[in-house]
Amino acid sequence: MAVAALLWSVLPHGALATNPAPAVAPPPDPAPCVAAVASGDEDKIVAMCGALIDNDKTAPADRVKALVARAGAYQRKDMTDPSIGDYTTALRLDPTLVDIYNARGALWRKKGDRPDAVRDFGAALKLDPNNAVAKANYKSLAQELERIGAQMALAGKPSFNCAGARRPVEKAICANPALADLDREIDATNARVVRAAARDNPRAGRDLQHEQDDFIVHRDAAFGRPDYDLHKAMRERLDHLNAITKQ
């Protein structure tokens, strides 16, 4: 009893009845994530950096770095959606990361989500108006959207004016958007092929144009025959022209 009385007298009131406060766990060590990044092993990056991301004791700056590292690994593994998810979380934690806006914008563009890509490239430029990557991305996407707009305006229209169509094959092409698109593409591709050949050899350019003229003559004459497939003939002609452009 004397010992108990002595302890009671020297300790703060209630100290004997209170459990000691638990020690605060230190933040997790980011070294395994850093080592995984240095190794270049995508699966290790996903695992090691993922453990750092999922630990609620991780310092915010370390979590951002781990998210960016894992997003890059996902991107290299062609896992677009998880990569976008990690970049999005990183930007939520630190919205000043210009390079991450660029990286996420490139992924949106890869998915075909051009509005989100434009927003990300624009956000990068807003943060850093002189950022060369953001400038190039924004310009490239703007040009792509312009081309898409032009293509949409021409969609379903052939290379000739349907108001003046007289031949049955021309009327058939005008009545079928797929055939109209094929006709326009054939005409445009042929023009490029002829121009390219004529730069080095005018005679070669003329020969290629004669080949196109012969295709049109045969198309017009053969259309309507039971054994003639107009779509197939036009597809084969376009494939032939595309093959020339790759030579």
Q: By percentage, how much of the chain surpasses pLDDT 70?
A: 86
Give the model confidence (pLDDT) of 182-217 as tens digits: 999 999 999 999 999 999 899 999 999 999 999 999
Q: How far apart are CA 175 and CA 231, in angstroms?
A: 13
Name the amino acid, one letter, at 70: R
Residue 2 has pLDDT above 90, yes or no: no
pLDDT band at residue 149, thresholds of 50, 70 and 90? low
Separation of alpha carbons 25 and 22, rounded Å? 9
What is the pLDDT at residue 25?
Answer: 67
Angle, to 10 degrees, between the axis of helix 60-76 and the axis of helix 98-111? 30
Q: Pick the range with the lowest mean pLDDT from 115-119, 142-146, 223-227.
A: 142-146
Q: Tell me the mean pLDDT in the region 169-180.
A: 93
> Quick one: which H or E segment has residue 231?
helix 230-245
Residues 80 and 117 sit within 8 Å (Cβ to Cβ): no
Segment 77-95 mean pLDDT? 96
Contacts of residue 149, defined as CB under 8 A and 6 or more positions apart, other chains included, come to none
In the predicted model, is pLDDT for residue 22 greater than 80? no
> pTM for this structure?
0.54
The two tokens of residue 222 are 């053969």
Domain map (residue ranges) of the chain? 29-94, 98-154, 162-245
Between CA 137 and CA 132 the distance in angstroms is: 9
Cβ-based neighbour number of residue 18 at 10 Å: 10
State the pLDDT at residue 118: 86
pLDDT over 90 at 154, yes or no: no
HSE at residue 127, side-chain half, CA atoms within 13 A, is: 18
Taking the C-alpha atoms of residue 37 and residue 70, their distance in angstroms, rounded to an integer, is 9
What does the pLDDT read at residue 105? 92
Contacts of 73 (CB under 8 A, 6+ apart): 42, 45, 46, 49
**Is 5 a residue whose pLDDT tops 60?**
no
DSSP string, 128-151: -TT-HHHHHHHHHHHHHHHHHHHH
Is 98-154 a domain of CATH 2.30.30.110? no
